[in-house]
Structure 1
């Protein structure tokens, strides 16, 4: 798991579910009805990157932020479009590495507090595109803040769901027991249900971590897709992302 560069010592709690489910990745575009609960927002990216990038409800516009020649491109996926992020850099964390992300403005309505919620996306990552830091989506930070995050970190390309509570120092991680870095589309969903954080791939739960029922996530951070920002150590995602969603309990 990648931690923000300003982070001090933290306790990290994680657990995973052994075994790999024999599930075929879905090539169909996900629908807003796929996650449980009421959908707070969902991005299909089918309108491309030139027009205003808004969610299915026309809310929370995203802006393209890019540094050092980083570019985003719209690519076909299941009858619509998805977003391809910059290629892998041989010198991870270097200022010369191309970076590009999508970032919203204020998104307080996405703060789940102590309520059950879920978030995730469909991703396509090749085995040659993995790195030690690859953020699919993130809101908030782990230091002096609170956070929820989905990442596909490490050479193995195993996704993980991360939450940090307001006023707490422990980083809770649900790490998947399987890789998604096989050049095929996979649907990843993170779910917080009371005292349990789970990660599911293609509809099968493949990792979990116990969390305090009182853990609350409230922060002023924007929603970031493809990286936590544009600094050199931005945990740049490499690959393709589609159908980003956040839900809240009804």
Structure 2
């Protein structure tokens, strides 16, 4: 998969000023932990992407902004509940940062944390070919039965695109209208990736199929027509929401992205 560099990072002086301000507020990791030159990349041609490299804080606060690095302005906002937190941690690539989501938990009182991106036309594929994915790390202790990495739309909506790691196994869901009916394709990898290492996951929808790609290799494929995918909901990263049944993701994300066309 061909990647392109994200926009240039702030100057050394700018990074030190940002980190100093955050430390004064008691929120940041020590300056030594701030990368000198973030190197994370998102796929060439991405129409939306969050790479989390701009997050210098030790923990993100409710309503903190997460920048869309394509420059189109489809930024995310942090949503937290029941003591949930998002931490900035070392990412998959040299100098990159990632978001660590809450630890695995069971019960209605579990902490929750997601990033929500408002609905926008560029996030709605309709009948065009599209792809979306993430770079993530999932230890065995973070595996749960429901774990949504990124999604737009819910199961019963007019359409949906979703990447999940239920029971540690990556999977793609693409749903939309076809000949007046809701058609859904669900593909999943045969094995878990909950090994504590970084992995690249990609879901591809072509005119004839939906494919799941794990670390550059096709892991699952299902023939499917090019349905009209037009979910009207916000994009949710790290779970479908902060309710007690939000399918919370418990690993770390270095980037999430979407490419339409």
User: What TM-score do the two structures reach when normalised by structure 1?
Assistant: 0.80
**Gap runs ≥5 in structure 2:** 1-37
Deviation at 1:171, TM superposition (A): 2.9
**Gap runs ≥5 in structure 1:** 1-27
Q: Separation in 2 of the partners of 1:168 and 1:82?
A: 39
Residue from 237, 241, 246 that aligns with 1:225? 237
**Structure 1 residues 149 and 29: alpha-carbon distance in aligned structure 2, compared to 1, 3 A threshold:** farther
Residue 84 of structure 2 corresponds to residue 70 of structure 1: yes
Match in the other structure for 1:153 = 166
Residue from 39, 48, 55 that aligns with 2:46? 39
Root-mean-square deviation (CA, aligned residues, Å) is: 1.7
Mapping 1:1-250, distance limit 5 Å: 31-33=41-43, 38-48=45-55, 49=60, 52-58=65-71, 59-77=73-91, 78=93, 79-91=95-107, 94=108, 96-154=109-167, 157-166=168-177, 168-213=181-226, 215-249=227-261
Higher relative contact order (CA 8 A, sep 6+): 1
Q: Separation in 2 of the partners of 1:233 and 1:171?
A: 22
**Structure 1 residues 29 and 181: alpha-carbon distance in aligned structure 2, compared to 1, 3 A threshold:** farther
Q: Separation in 2 of the partners of 1:128 and 1:42?
A: 28
Give the SS at the match of 1:39: coil
Aligned length: 213
Q: Separation in 2 of the partners of 1:229 and 1:90?
A: 16
Q: Separation in 2 of the partners of 1:194 and 1:110?
A: 18
Q: Which has the larger radius of gyration?
A: 2
Q: Separation in 2 of the partners of 1:71 and 1:168?
A: 40
**Structure 1 residues 29 and 122: alpha-carbon distance in aligned structure 2, compared to 1, 3 A threshold:** farther
